[in-house]
Each structure stands twice: as structure tokens, then as C-alpha cells.
Amino acid sequence: MKIKRLVEIDFSLFFSTIILTFFGILMIYSSGINSSGMLVTNEYIKQIIFAIIGIFLIGIIVLFDYRRLYDYAEYFYAFFLLLVLYTVFFGKLVNGARAWIGFGSFGIQPSEFLKLATIILLSKYLENTQRSEEHLKRFTIAAIIVVIPMLFILLQPDLGTALVFIPIFLVTCFIAGITKRYIVYSIFLIGLIGFFTILPLWQSHILKGAFPFLKIFQNTKIVGVMEFSMILISGIAWYGYKRYKKDYFYWIVYSLSLLIISLLTSLVAHRVLKDYQIMRLIVFLDPYIDPKGSGWNIIQSITAIGSGGFWGRGYLQGTQSHYRFLPQQSTDFIFSIFSEEMGFIGGVLLFSLFLLIVLRLLNIMKTTSDPFGAYIVAGFSGMLVFHFLINVGMTMGIMPITGIPLIFLSYGGSSLLSALIGIGISLSIYVRRFEH
């Protein structure tokens, strides 16, 4: 009977998820308490409702064979792409982004579910092409599958959510056996885009123009000439590689294309990014450049984490949150509240639970006999790790503020539901790991 599947699940993975979700509800409740000890929001009630729905969905998903997702991958992908596009024009405006569809006091964020849909379609494609010898084609199409939803989400605009697709792509491609030089190429490209995007801000606001030669990267005409020159050299080198089959021609094209794409993308980024997003990058470089404005969040977050000490101030005893020094405390900065109230020892427990979840997911990925299932778990694992590292790094001031929630803990029904659905799919793969 199908019902027997429920007792075959990975209970370590399941209960770790439940404990983290419970911690999240406790912290969301704490974030709603003001300095007078009064509860001023009902966010924790909504989170409880979404948690119950998510846990119920885990049970339902485990009962059904995850391979059914294979047949509907394209439909899920297209459906959530259209929903994201709908939000661009008709969505509810929250914090400068149209990323939500409202239903009374509730709302959903389609981009959260688009992550899962993209993972499923990407996994299907990589399984279908796993024996292909056309490595560049395989890599390119996989990249297109991921880039399209990123572009749609950037239209909202929601930079943080768009960035989550990068680790999904890299981890899944690595597990799927994509040629490593293409994966390394992607990593270098992402790094260079970030560097050239931040460089003008660093020059203007931190260095105060100390190195005049860096201004060339702010001059579109000079950059345009550089782009044209590199494209011309790349074209000649590619011809040389095709004609003479010399590796040094290939590596010239490889290197110059990195510079061409990263410089061009950084120019586009500066035109697309909103003022508040640019300011987030600036205060990441130095939060004290605007301590009472954009740098306030980071400074107060670091203060909250530091004030927790080893044992913490105690549950409901945090000052940074209850006195409202910390904005977005139930969402982006939930870890700051947790650290202030639970201290270093609580942080260790939190890290341990996340680590246990990742290790159990890696075990599922390793033991399943089905490549499709392994690729899904790989993409989901990449998503979870990225969310955790960026959010925690953001609260500590070692990552820029991007609006990425701490999965399972941050307030947000769509984020919690999509994560619990991902856990449900992973558990479904686990109980059928030897069947396909």
C-alpha cells in the first residue's frame, strides 16, 4: 500500500526540517513583540498556517511517484513563467518589487515556485542528454533554461531571487557531468560581472576617485572600444583555432569572452539596477558611509548578533528587535533575532540542523539509481545552501543585502511552501531510490 511509504521516509531529514520551521515560527512571534511586550502583528499565525499546509503536502507528495513530474516539467515551467510575467504588470508592489499576487491578506510569490519548476525541467533535460557528446550544446541549452526565469524575475525587479538560480544551475550541471571547464567558465564569469559592477561604486564612494585610471570602466565609449577590440581579436583567434587546431587560440577566445560578456553585463546592470539596489552594494563595501540610512540595517544586525554573546539574551528578551532598531526583522534579518536571543550556542544548533539537512540530501543524491531524481536533489541542495550562506552572510555584513530569506525560518508563505515541497520531492525520491 502507498501509505507504507510514509514510514519509509528519511526521518532525520524530515524532523530537521520540522524543527527549523518551528524555530522560525518562534522567531517570527518574537519579532512581532514591541518594547511594551505587546504583540503587534499576526505574521506568526500565517506562518503556522503555511507550515501546516506544507507538512500536509510533504505527506501527499511522498505517496506519489516523483517521476510523474518528468511528464509535466515543461508545463510547470511555462505556467510559473507566465505567473511571474503577470506579477511584473499586475502584481502587488512590496519593497519596490512587483513579485506578489495578493489574495486578501494573503499573497503568493510565483518566483519561489518557479525555482522548483526550473530545477525539474533542468533535471529532465540533463537526464535526456546525459549520453550526448555535444558538451557545449548541452551546457548552452541548460544555461538558457535557467537564464530565462532569471530575466523574467529581474523585470519585477528582484535581484536576490534571480541570483538563486545560479547555484541551482552550477550544482546540477556539475552532478550531471557537464564538462568542468564550462562550469569554471561560469564561475569566473559571475565573479567578473560582480567585480565590474562593484568597481565603479568602489571607485566613486569608497576610494573617492583615488585611482583615476579606474574611471575608464565608467566611460561607456571607452568600454565600447575595448569591447569591439576584444570581439575582433576573439574572432581572429577562433578562426585560428578552427584552421590550425592550436589550443592557445582556444584559450584566447575563452579568456576574452569572459571579459567581453562581464563588461557588457556590468554596464547593463548599472542601467537596470534601482537606486536602492546600488546603495545596498555601496553600504556592503562600507556600511558606515551611510550609517543612518542604507547602512543602518547591517550595523543594527551586527549589533544584535554580537549582543547575544555565548548563551543569548533569552527568548523574547532581544532589544534590537523589540525596540524596532532592526528593520525587516521577520524576513531578511530573522537570523539576527535568533542570534541575539539564542546566542552562539543557538547559532551552532541552527548551523548543525542545516548541515544535517544538506548531508541527508547529498545521501539521497548519492544513493538514488535515477539520474532525474539525483539532479532534482542536487538543484534543490544548491538552492538551500545558497539561501543559507547569503542570508547569514548578509546579516553579518560579509555579503550584500539582496533580500534573500533564510529558508524555513524567515516569514513568507511562498518561500516556506516551496521549500517544504522540495523536501517532499526529495523524500519521495528517497523512498523510491532503488526502483528506477
The per-residue pLDDT string of the chain (436 residues; one tens digit each, 9 = 90 and over) reads 567 777 788 899 999 999 999 999 999 999 888 877 788 888 899 999 999 999 999 999 999 999 999 999 999 999 999 999 999 888 887 766 788 887 666 778 999 999 999 999 999 999 999 888 788 889 999 999 999 999 999 888 788 889 999 999 999 999 999 988 889 989 999 888 888 887 777 766 666 666 666 667 667 788 788 888 899 999 999 888 888 878 888 888 888 988 888 888 887 777 777 666 667 777 776 777 767 666 777 888 888 888 888 888 888 888 877 777 777 788 888 998 999 999 999 999 999 999 999 999 999 999 999 999 999 999 999 999 999 999 998 888 888 777 789 999 999 889 999 999 999 999 999 999 888 6
Looking at residue 247, what is its pLDDT? 82
**Would residue 113 count as lying in a domain?**
yes
Residue 122: exposure state from Cβ atoms within 10 A (0-12, 13-18, ≥19): buried
**Would residue 362 count as lying in a domain?**
yes
Looking at residue 18, what is its pLDDT? 96
**Would residue 200 count as lying in a domain?**
no
Closest by Cα among 68, 105, 44, 140 to 372: 68
**Would residue 259 count as lying in a domain?**
no
Of the chain, the end-to-end C-alpha distance in Å amounts to 18
**Would residue 271 count as lying in a domain?**
no
351 phi and psi angles, rounded to 5 deg: -60, -40
**Would residue 70 count as lying in a domain?**
yes
Say if residues 369 and 432 touch (Cβ distance below 8 Å). Answer: no
Looking at residue 396, what is its pLDDT? 85
Looking at residue 270, what is its pLDDT? 72
Looking at residue 95, what is its pLDDT? 67
Say if residues 114 and 81 touch (Cβ distance below 8 Å). Answer: yes
Domain count along the chain: 1
**Would residue 198 count as lying in a domain?**
no
Looking at residue 305, what is its pLDDT? 87
**Would residue 214 count as lying in a domain?**
no
Looking at residue 153, what is its pLDDT? 92
Residue 347's domain spans which residues? 2-177+293-431
Taking only the tens place, the pLDDT of each residue in 364-398 is 999 999 999 999 999 999 999 999 999 998 888 88
